[in-house]
Chain A
């Protein structure tokens, strides 16, 4: 075996070390979202079960909307995990807002039963208006 063959053989082994280390870091949970637009507003709904209102953060900076929250559930001491569909405890998702369309001063959010709803009001100029037709 030449040294060149050796190095190609060793490479994937060292590469497998990285994902192993990556899993030790807590994965960020990307909440699934529904996004809908009405004539007046854009509505984002995000599934964030286990997030309490005080750990929830909805922030707009530089046209970027960030939804963040911490999954907090009561775990008894000395509990071991048997099976986990959901790994990690930090929810985060970001969106870029259209500066022209969205009025950042009029963003409203509510959290109910683990579902976050963010209402993004459109600027007056971008709303759908019905023009009356004169007969």
Chain B
């Protein structure tokens, strides 16, 4: 059971307006990806999220460039993972007089929520950040992991 959770923030991500048609085409061709356990709220939001699965775990890749560790929080509660934080606006960072020509990058506060599948052990979730990508590792409960059954010679 999963829900498509809504984020209160709408962001305008210019390259997604171009990627949108490709994405929806892919999603309609691989419609079975919707029936998977773990899913993020819909695209064109910040931060972008990719999710992968192995037999042992799920991995959530959160693309959160330019965010200090102190400005990012990952919380697990009631079967939900909430990724929240803020990114300073260009104006906040700059004191000097500047002319802005383009402002495509997201700024401000963000929040994305993912629903956790029952198979994940919420206590075992870990996170690490590198080059602006936060990787969440969500191990599956031991009881639900595939086990190799040894066949003994009679």
Question: Which A positions have Cβ atoms within 8 angstroms of B?
Answer: 19, 22-23, 27, 29-39, 45-52, 73-87, 112-115
Cα separation A92 to B18 with both chains bound (whole Å): 15
| Contact A85:B48 (CB < 8 A) given known A52-B131, A73-B133, A114-B131 | yes
Contacting A at CB under 8 A, from B59-114, are 59, 61, 63-68, 90, 94, 96-106
Given contacts A27-B22, A48-B65, contact A113 B131 (CB under 8 A): yes
Contacting pair A37 B26 (CB below 8 A):
no
Instruction: Check: B9 CB closer than 8 A to any chain A CB.
Output: no
**In the complex, what residues of A have CB within 8 A of residue B48's CB?**
85-86
Asked whether B3 is an interface residue with its Cβ less than 8 Å from the other chain, the reply is: no
User: Residue A32 contacts which of B22, B38, B106 (CB distance < 8 angstroms)?
Assistant: B106
List residues of chain B with CB within 8 A of the CB of A113.
65-68, 131-132
Interface residues of B toward A: which range?
Answer: 35 or more
B49 at the A/B interface (Cβ < 8 Å)?
A: yes
Bound CA–CA A73/B45 (angstroms) = 21
Instruction: Give me the interface of B with A, judged by CB distance under 8 Å.
Output: 13-15, 18-19, 22-23, 25-26, 33, 36-40, 43, 45, 48-55, 57-59, 61, 63-68, 90, 94, 96-106, 131-133, 135
Complex CA gap A74/B18 in Å reads 27
Whether the Cβ atoms of A83 and B106 lie closer than 8 Å is: no
CA distance A39 to B57 in the complex (A): 51
- What are 26 A-B pairs with beta-carbon distances under 8 A? A23-B22, A23-B25, A30-B14, A32-B14, A32-B15, A32-B104, A32-B105, A34-B102, A34-B103, A35-B101, A35-B102, A36-B101, A47-B65, A47-B66, A49-B63, A49-B132, A50-B132, A52-B131, A74-B135, A75-B59, A76-B59, A82-B36, A86-B63, A114-B131, A115-B65, A115-B66
Cα-based distance from A51 to B133 in the complex (angstroms): 9
**Given A85-B50, A87-B23, A115-B132, 15 more pairs with CB closer than 8 A:** A22-B22, A27-B19, A33-B105, A34-B100, A37-B98, A39-B97, A47-B106, A50-B132, A81-B51, A82-B51, A82-B52, A83-B39, A113-B67, A114-B133, A115-B66
Across the interface, name the chain A residue whose C-beta is closest to B129: A113
- On whether the beta carbons of B67 and A85 are closer than 8 Å, the reply is no
Known: A47-B105, A50-B131. A80 touches B63 (CB 8 A): no
Beyond A113-B66, A115-B66, is A82–B104 a contact (Cβ under 8 Å)? no
